[in-house]
């Protein structure tokens, strides 16, 4: 697929979830399908006609087992945030129909206990999880998503732990 052909493709409508615990640490999980470390926050596509917040709660449950009764919605990004996939991945992901994703991000506070987190879902996407600081998350994310993740961190910074909070 040529770069000109990729440039004409749309972004896939998607939601992302920044789930934080009571200490302001961020839930991150290791992708099962990655050969190298690839930590990320829960995210996924919006179904036709689905409200973005409903999609965020659905994706969180599908990927982590955490239901809507164990979270509190705190905020969402004002704008859609977009990223492009590396050109070599475009033909391999989503049937080559999208050049990347445009995402509405939601900040959710986890009000349950860690034993509610269950990655052994109907279609598991993650192999491991942990609570991270924003700096650790940004250092662990695949490079092509880093700018978007930095924008999400900036948008939700008032709710997040600082490095000094975790020492």
Residue 161 has pLDDT above 90, yes or no: no
Distance CA 143, CA 54 (A): 28
81 HSE (CA, 13 A, CB side): 21
Q: How high is the pLDDT of residue 164?
A: 54
Q: What does the pLDDT read at residue 33?
A: 84
Of 60-64, 84-88, 126-130, 163-167, least confident by mean pLDDT is 163-167
pTM: 0.92
Task: For residue range 18-76, list pLDDT tens digits in order.
Answer: 999 999 999 999 999 877 788 999 999 999 999 999 999 999 999 999 999 999 999 99
The predicted pLDDT at position 154 comes to 96
Q: Per-residue pLDDT tens for 110-152?
A: 999 999 999 999 999 999 999 999 999 999 998 899 999 999 9
pLDDT at 163: 56
**What sign has the CA pseudo-torsion 144, 14, 108, 117?**
negative
End-to-end CA distance of the chain: 48
Query: How high is the pLDDT of residue 1?
Result: 86
- Judge contact between 82 and 61, C-beta under 8 A: no
């Amino acid at each position: 697929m040529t770069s000109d052909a990729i440039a004409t493709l749309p972004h896939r409508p998607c939601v992302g979830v920044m789930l934080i615990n009571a200490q302001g640490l961020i839930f991150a999980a290791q992708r099962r399908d990655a050969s190298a470390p690839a930590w990320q926050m829960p995210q996924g596509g919006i179904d036709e006609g689905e409200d973005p917040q409903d999609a965020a709660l659905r994706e969180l449950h599908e990927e982590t087992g955490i239901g809507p009764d164990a979270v509190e919605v705190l905020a969402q990004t004002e704008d859609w945030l977009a990223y492009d996939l590396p050109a070599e991945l475009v033909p391999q992901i989503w049937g080559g129909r999208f050049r990347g994703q445009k995402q509405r991000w939601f900040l959710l506070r986890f009000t349950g206990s860690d034993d509610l987190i269950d990655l052994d879902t109907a279609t598991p996407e993650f192999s491991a999880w942990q609570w991270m600081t924003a700096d650790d998350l940004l250092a662990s994310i695949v490079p092509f998503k880093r700018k978007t993740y930095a924008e999400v961190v900036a948008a939700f910074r008032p709710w997040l732990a600082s490095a000094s909070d975790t020492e």
